[in-house]
A and B are shown apart, each in its own frame.
Chain A
Amino acid sequence: MTQSPARLTLARTRSVCPVCLEQIEAERFLRGDTVYLGKTCPTHGRFEVPVWRGAAAYLAWGRQQAPRSAPTGRLTAVDKGCPHDCGLCPDHRQQSCCVLIEVTSRCDIACPVCFASAGRQGTDADFATIEGWLDTLNTAGGRVHIQLSGGEPTVRDDLADIIRLTRSKGFDFVQLNSNGIRLARDPAYVAALAAAGLDCVFLQFDGVTDAVYQRTRGARLMALKEKAIDACAAVGIGVVLVPTLVPGVNTQEIGAIVDFAVARLPAVRAVHFQPVSYFGRCLKAPEDADRVTLPEVMSALARHCPGVSLADFRPGSAENAYCSFSGRFSVDRDNRFHALGGPVSCCGVAPEPDAVRPSPAVDRERRSVAGQWKRPASPCGDGLDAFDAFLASRERTLGLSGMAFQDAWTLDIDRLRQCHIHIMAPDNRVIPFCAYNLTSMDGKALYRR
């Protein structure tokens, strides 16, 4: 790395040493047009890593910080300090929004890139354990979104039963993380998931060519991805494409992925880009060139998509501003994008499922018409056409978003403490996603077992 004396300290924070995971002081500083996280471990030396390429956007972006809220429910005590006391601890600054439940550690492919270090050998969480997790979340008082994850959840034949269980516990939005292989090969299975109340599939989708999948997943998967989307569309399950972006591997396909999504509207609701993080199986110390940052993704989208500008993107509404971006767009018949106003999902995605799904009592209660729809004093208009026109326009709505997970090099405690995407640990602790997956340079995990 070349060093330049011209640098500007932006803020002090804390991080961990990538070697020993001890909490150490850190700073965010600007050098050239790039924001770095820098830190020095007294034992293992200096580490500097780019976290945001684009100084002007960095400063503007930070003015849109989300409000903070203390977590509810079960807490762990503050002892060693963040990120060593997660559970959540009283120092955490955000409640859970989306909670991942890992229903299996088995997977039907062995990806070179895997945050969960899943493999073909593994175990399934038993039903009672899953029920205990859901009860714990309910006790904590959160009406959170549940994301069924793994491993590859679809290796389980009883996944529909798990979805039904989740819905029966009052969780009204259930997502599935999947590589899509079984979804592509087993339409009856997909139909059963839909009937059980699955809202949305987060489909691992790294590119539009087999060459990309061979590098990221070790298999030719493109045809299967298309079949998986078809299967979901047939039963009304919304699909969010989730590319893991690796510089030099698939960043050149960002535009092609969006084009693919537009061609598959309304089955595909959104594209959620995830710049690669170096944990799990990614053990080599990354170079600066191995990193892609959120503003680079936003710039690539603005360059590629007609009508999209950087001003159309916003930080997530609940997490730290530098963790995510999202924008919602109406795409006209000439494939020109028009930014839509209104709220942006706190999960950074806009799945918008039209899924035909059960209407549990909690759904009915929460959505009671009298409480949610207001009636102004001066009515006007014509029949129910306004609803129809609105729904028709949404058929051509696409969400474009991204989320930057943190690894041992990029971990910024300020960001971690505002994390609202959590994982249910086997021992019923609720742990922020980036802390749960954090591994040291030699692969030692802080939480994952």
Chain B
Amino acid sequence: MSNTIPEGAGNPADLLCFACDVPLEMGKVEATYLGQKFPVDLPRCPKCGFVYVSEDLALGKMLRVEQALEDK
């Protein structure tokens, strides 16, 4: 899916779910890692529930959270 999505797309509606071919919508998601839960808003497919995590977020804030939880 990530191959079809322009990097840095600001509007979830600009993102299409590769599997369902429908625009993503901002939705509430609970991300969990090593037992810690984080309720966050992320673009998700209204049909199949697939969640899009941008590269910036994955390699930025989420990576820092992972490292903190891993004691690294």
Chain B, 24-51, CB within 8 A of any chain A CB: 27-36, 38-41, 49, 51
**Which residues of chain B are within 8 angstroms of A343 by Cβ–Cβ distance?**
34, 69-71
Return the CB mask of A382-400 against B: 1 if under 8 Å, else 0.
1111111011001001010
Answer yes or no: A351 CB below 8 A from chain B CBs.
yes
Identify the closest chain A residue to B29 (Cβ): A379
**Contact of A387 (CB < 8 Å), options: B28, B34, B40:** B40
**Which residues of chain A are within 8 angstroms of B57 by Cβ–Cβ distance?**
384
CA distance A367 to B59 in the complex (A): 9
**Which residues of chain B are within 8 angstroms of A342 by Cβ–Cβ distance?**
34-36, 69
Given contacts A328-B71, A342-B69, A364-B59, contact A375 B31 (CB under 8 A): yes
Given contacts A373-B62, A391-B65, contact A383 B31 (CB under 8 A): no
**Which residues of chain A are within 8 angstroms of B62 by Cβ–Cβ distance?**
369, 373, 387
**Which residues of chain A are within 8 angstroms of B72 by Cβ–Cβ distance?**
173, 199, 345, 351-353
Answer yes or no: B63 CB below 8 A from chain A CBs.
yes
CA distance A44 to B63 in the complex (A): 56
Answer yes or no: A284 CB below 8 A from chain B CBs.
no
Identify the closest chain A residue to B39 (Cβ): A381
CA distance A399 to B72 in the complex (A): 11
**Which residues of chain A are within 8 angstroms of B32 by Cβ–Cβ distance?**
373-374, 376
CA distance A373 to B39 in the complex (A): 12
Identify the closest chain B residue to A366 (Cβ): B66
Central interface residue in B34, B70, B71, by most chain A CB within 10 Å: B71
Answer yes or no: B3 CB below 8 A from chain A CBs.
no
Given contacts A374-B32, A380-B30, A381-B40, contact A391 B67 (CB under 8 A): no
B49 → A minimal CB distance (Å): 8
Q: Is the CB of B71 within 8 A of A350?
A: yes
Central interface residue in A351, A359, A364, A372, by most chain B CB within 10 Å: A372
Q: Give the tally of cross-chain contacts (CB within 8 A).
A: 100
Answer yes or no: B53 CB below 8 A from chain A CBs.
yes
Given contacts A345-B71, A350-B71, contact A384 B41 (CB under 8 A): yes
Identify the closest chain B residue to A376 (Cβ): B30
**Contact of B59 (CB < 8 Å), options: A359, A378, A388:** A359
**Which residues of chain B are within 8 angstroms of A374 by Cβ–Cβ distance?**
31-33
Answer yes or no: A354 CB below 8 A from chain B CBs.
yes
Q: Is the CB of B36 within 8 A of A381?
A: no
Q: Is the CB of B66 within 8 A of A387?
A: no
Answer yes or no: A408 CB below 8 A from chain B CBs.
no
CA distance A173 to B71 in the complex (A): 11
**Which residues of chain B are within 8 angstroms of A369 by Cβ–Cβ distance?**
53, 58, 62
Counting contact residues on chain A (CB < 8 A from B), the size range is 35 or more
**Which residues of chain B are within 8 angstroms of A375 by Cβ–Cβ distance?**
29-31, 49, 51
CA distance A391 to B51 in the complex (A): 22
CA distance A367 to B66 in the complex (A): 8
CA distance A364 to B63 in the complex (A): 9
Return the CB mask of A152-194 against B: 1 if under 8 Å, else 0.
0000000000000000000001000000000000000000000
**Contact of B39 (CB < 8 Å), options: A351, A367, A380:** A380
CA distance A375 to B66 in the complex (A): 15
CA distance A382 to B26 in the complex (A): 11
CA distance A428 to B32 in the complex (A): 40
Identify the closest chain B residue to A359 (Cβ): B59
A48 → B minimal CB distance (Å): 37
CA distance A382 to B34 in the complex (A): 21
Q: Is the CB of B68 within 8 A of A383?
A: no
Central interface residue in B41, B58, B62, B72, by most chain A CB within 10 Å: B72
Answer yes or no: A144 CB below 8 A from chain B CBs.
no
**Which residues of chain B are within 8 angstroms of A351 by Cβ–Cβ distance?**
71-72
Q: Is the CB of B30 within 8 A of A378?
A: yes
Given contacts A381-B38, A387-B40, A390-B38, contact A373 B31 (CB under 8 A): yes
Given contacts A199-B72, A342-B34, contact A379 B65 (CB under 8 A): no
Q: Is the CB of A379 within 8 A of B27?
A: yes
Answer yes or no: A344 CB below 8 A from chain B CBs.
yes
**Which residues of chain B are within 8 angstroms of A364 by Cβ–Cβ distance?**
59
CA distance A419 to B27 in the complex (A): 47
Interface pairs (11), CB distance under 8 Å: A342-B34, A364-B59, A372-B33, A372-B66, A373-B53, A373-B62, A375-B49, A381-B38, A387-B40, A388-B61, A390-B68
Binding site for B on A (CB under 8 A): 173, 199, 328, 341-345, 349-354, 359, 364, 367, 369, 372-376, 378-388, 390-391, 394, 397, 399
Closest 4 CB pairs of A and B: A381-B39, A345-B71, A386-B38, A379-B28
